Amino acid sequence: MLLDDLDIKLLKENFDEETINSMDIDNISKIYLYLKENGIYYAKDLIITSLDLFLLPSEKFIKQFEKLKIKLGKDYVNKLGEDASLIELMYED
């Protein structure tokens, strides 16, 4: 997973410098790999719009995402791809 100049520009529009600087590449890579394994082919888009969630420890993110999968049902890949706002469900404690 490589962020190009345009990805970084979009990331800067979506998040403040402090949040971007908190990125832990290893943690994000683990989450990215997990998402890819779960068929989320647009995983990089999720990082750009929801970087704050990628700051969660990978184990916690995975736990929350598994809950999201249950809420969205079998077609979760398409549902999340077609309605970005569904990621909001991951903010619920």
By C-alpha distance, which of 87, 53, 54 is closest to 72? 87
Tell me how far apart the alpha carbons of residues 36 and 48 are, in angstroms, rounded to a whole number: 15
Report, in Å, the least distance between residue 70 CB and other proteins: 19
Using rule CB under 8 A, residue 49 touches other proteins: yes
Using rule CB under 8 A, residue 38 touches other proteins: no
Nearby residues of 21 by Cβ (< 8 Å), 6 or more positions away = none
Element (H, E) at 42: none
Using rule CB under 8 A, residue 18 touches other proteins: yes
Site residues (CB under 8 A) for other proteins? 2, 5-6, 8-10, 12-19, 21, 24-27, 41-42, 44-46, 48-50, 52, 55-57, 59-60, 78, 80-85, 87-88, 91-93
